[in-house]
Amino acid sequence: MKEKETSKWHYLVFLIYPLLSLVYYIKYIKSFERALSFMLYVAVSFIVMVLLWKIISAVNSRFDLKKISVISVTAAVLAAVDQLIKLVLSKTGFETKLISNIFMIKQTHNVNQTGLFNFLKIETSQTSMLIFKAVLLVLVICLYRLFKSDTAKKAYVFAAAAVTSHLLDTVFYGYTLDYIFFRKIIVYDMKDYYVDVFVAALIIIVIGNELKKSKEKKKVI
C-alpha cells in the first residue's frame, strides 16, 4: 500500500496511540488539573509525532532511507537532538512553565531509566543498564534487514535513534534526564517520542497489511 493512500489514517493512529494510555491513567484522573494535563499530553504527543513523521518523510524523499548510510546519519542526528537538549538543560538548569504548572520544561532524573522498569518498579544499577542498552542497540542493528518498506524504514530510524539516545543517557548521566513535564501524568524526553512514533508506525504497517490482504481477497472472490 502506498503511503499516499494511508497518510490520513497515519494521523489517526498518531492521535489514538497516546489516547490508549488512558486505560492506565484513568484511575488517576480524579481532578480537572489531571484531566487537563492528560489532554495536553495527548495533544502535544500528536503534534510532535506528526512533525517527526513529516521530517522523516522529507528525509526519505530527498535521500532515500533504503541506504544504510542515510539511516545511520538520520538516527544519529535524532539522537543528537535529544542529547543536545539534555546538555543545555543540565548545564543551564533551565526550566519554564509553558501552560501554568501543568505543562512545563522541567528536569526530572529517571534513575530506573526506562518506562517499563518504572512501571514494574524494578531498580537497576548503572552497569546493568549499560549492558542492557548496549545489547539492545546491537539487536536493533541486527534487525535492520527486516524493515523493508518505506514505512518500516522510517520506523526503524526512530527505533535506532531511541536506543542510541538511551545508551548515551547511561554513559553521560547514569540516568535518563526527562524534561517534557505533564503534571501528575508523565515526564517525557524526545527519545520517548521516537519510541511512540516507532510503535505507531508498526501499528500502521499491521493495519496496512491487513487492508491489503482484505483487498486481495475481494479481488479473488
Q: Does the pLDDT of residue 2 top 50, yes or no?
A: no
Of the candidates 53, 87, 75, 47, which has an alpha carbon nearest to the alpha carbon of residue 162? 75
Confidence label for 176 from pLDDT (cuts 50, 70 and 90): confident
- Euclidean distance between CA atoms 21 and 188, whole angstroms: 14
Domain hosting 141: range is 3-220
- Which residues, other chains included, contact 219 with Cβ-Cβ below 8 Å and sequence gap of 6+? none
Chain position carrying cell 508506525: 201
Residue range 120-173, pLDDT digits in tens: 555 666 677 778 788 888 888 888 888 888 999 999 999 999 999 999 998 888
| Other CB atoms within 10 A of residue 171 CB | 12
- Which residues, other chains included, contact 200 with Cβ-Cβ below 8 Å and sequence gap of 6+? 13, 14, 17, 49
Work out how many domains the chain is built from and give that number.
1
Question: Buried (b) or exposed (e) across 183-212, using 16+ Cβ within 10 A?
Answer: bebbbbbbbbbbbbbbbbbbebbebbeeee
Of the candidates 171, 173, 165, 163, which has an alpha carbon nearest to the alpha carbon of residue 140? 163
Q: Does the pLDDT of residue 116 top 60, yes or no?
A: no
